[in-house]
Amino acid sequence: MRQLAALMEPIIAERAGVNFPPYRVTCGFPSKGGELGKKTRVRGQCWSAAASEDRHAEIFISPVEDDQATVAAILAHEMIHAALPEAGHKRPFQIAAAAIGHKAPFTSSEPTPEFMAWAEALLGTLPPYPHRRLNAMTPVAQKKKQTARMIKCECATCGYTARTTRKWLESVGAPICPGEGHGRMQHDPIDDEDAEGEDGDV
């Protein structure tokens, strides 16, 4: 990506009339919105040079992307953000993006025919993008999501409530109310859905 950025930089600067601060390009997840499995996913992100300790803009391209043309379009989009850090996706950004072949909606980055008309020749001089996409799987060491339904238990005498899972109701019964002499609590009916995810109990 760094090689591609170096090739695109003078073309984007000339067509869009922008100047670039020092910047770095990395394959990595954006700070939010990049979760695997989402229908709408943030595919790239640029952090302003003002946010960096050494005044470099930081560009991230999602590891979910591995199509070379798409990566090029995302990279060009984020490079304009680096050059116009205060513009967001407003008019100055839109003018610059349109100048390199991007089209509305300007929050997305697609390799349009107009973009590829100049970018394809650059891609042809480079080796294939050295990355394969990450698929929607659970990351290593991610905490298992709790899916067990917590069943409400209530004391018929004083109304004290507690919640537990089907697993414990079936193995040891409902909790005993801490109120003196109140005995076991009553609980909502148990259905088949309560059996799902019992291994997630904490």
User: How many Å apart are CA 97 and CA 101, to the nearest integer?
Assistant: 7
Q: Can you spell out the DSSP letters for 42-68?
A: --EEEE-GGGSTTS-EEEEE-TT---H
The helix/strand count (H/E) of the chain reads as 5, 6
Cα angle 66, 72, 73 (rounded to 5 degrees) comes to: 110
Which residue has better confidence, 100 or 192? 100
Indicate whether 150 pLDDT > 60: yes
Classify burial at 168, counting beta carbons within 10 Å of its beta carbon; exposed 0-12, middle 13-18, buried 19 or more: middle
Q: Where in the chain is the domain with CATH 3.30.2010?
A: 2-123
| pLDDT tens-digit series, residues 157-175 | 999 999 998 889 988 999 9
Q: How far is Cα 100 from Cα 87, in angstroms, rounded to an integer?
A: 17
Q: What is the CATH number of domain 2-123?
A: 3.30.2010
What's the confidence (pLDDT) of residue 196?
38
| pLDDT confidence band for 149 (50 / 70 / 90) | confident
SS3 (DSSP) at 15:
helix
pLDDT per residue as tens digits for the range 26-65 = 998 877 765 555 556 788 999 999 998 999 999 999 998 9
pLDDT at residue 68 in the model: 94
How confident is the model at residue 154, as a pLDDT? 93
